[in-house]
Amino acid sequence: MDYSDYAAIYDAEYAGYDDDVAFYLSWAQKAHPPVLELGCGTGRILLPLADHGVEMWGLDNCSAMLERARAKLSSRPLETRRRVTLVEQDMTSFRLNRKFGLIYLPFREFMHLTRVDQQLACLHAIRRHLCRDGRLLINVYDVDLVTLVHSRQAADPVLYRQPGGDYLDEQGRQVLLCSASRYDPEQQCLFEERFYETIGPGGQILERRFVRLSQRWFFRWEMVHLLSRSGFKVEQLLGGYFGERYSGLGQEMIFVARLRPRRSWSSVGSMVRS
């Protein structure tokens, strides 16, 4: 998934969003350093963790997103800058020549890997880079089956205002966000088109932007099997960033996994305790 078109607007759109930062910080502070974020983007999570003293590596395949992260990092104190390493690589094939005590994929990054070979390649790359007693955190979300069924009944994707989606851009101008989503149950993919309109004081449209996103949705046990097949054991499944128990449909899913010894890979018993 190419985020080049998104880089200019990403930080303004998510300026008010930090629900997940304390969650990753608490895991990072317990982990053996360094910590690796896959798909670190503009550093929304990575930079606050480094500010709090965590030695951070961030990996992303989009140079425009990383450029933003580097610009924000350059205005941080020297101690923070020394703690951060940013690399432009793909999460399905990365090689960093070192091991990490914690590797995490926040904000549904794993869902950008729409093909099974990409998902397995990513998990194998993670396996090569995780310390023996390290932890892997993967956040994806449950597909909302009601929305899925409704979208299948509509002839065309409906353009709708995203609840809570409007925001102010970096110059304080109002941006309205509408999107059209198409669910493809055969591919298990959501294709979303986002239309951003920047509105002037007289109501005129000053700027229009367009971003296309594709996300593969995962079911709970599908994730458990993928992880197990790649040599991980799922220790916990959380339903949110505040320690919520996973209870079913339409929720965040955060898988907490660790490496399994190679000889036990084929055993899928006790893959997850719910």
In the complex, which residues of this chain contact ligand SAM (CB under 6 A)? 1, 3, 39-41, 44-45, 60-62, 65, 90-92, 106-107, 109, 112
Residue 41 vs 134, nearer CB to ligand SAM: 41
Distance CA 221, CA 154 (A): 29
Q: Closest approach of Cβ 152 to ligand SAM, in Å?
A: 26
**Angstrom distance (rounded) from CA 191 to CA 186:** 13
Smallest distance, ligand SAM to C-beta of residue 217, A:
15
DSSP, res 112: G
Q: Tell me how far, at minimum, the Cβ of 5 lies from ligand SAM, in Å.
A: 11
Q: Are 100 and 135 in contact (CB under 8 A)?
A: no
Which C-beta is closer to ligand SAM: that of 83 or that of 112? 112
Query: Is 232 strand, coil or helix?
Result: strand
Query: In terms of CB distance, is 17 or 221 closer to ligand SAM?
Result: 17
Contact in structure between 52 and 117 (CB atoms under 8 Å): no
Helix and strand numbers, DSSP H then E, in the chain = 8, 12
Q: What distance, in Å, lies between the first and last C-alpha atoms of the chain?
A: 32
Beta carbon nearer to ligand SAM, 109 or 169: 109
State the minimum distance, in angstroms, from the CB of residue 222 to ligand SAM. Answer: 19
Q: How far is the CB of 70 from ligand SAM (least distance, A)?
A: 13
For residue 197, the SS3 value is: strand
CB nearer ligand SAM, residue 114 or residue 251: 114
Q: How far is the CB of 26 from ligand SAM (least distance, A)?
A: 16
Query: 40 vs 227, which CB is nearer to ligand SAM?
Result: 40
Find residue 223's DSSP bridge partners. none
- Cβ neighbours around 224 below 10 Å, total: 20
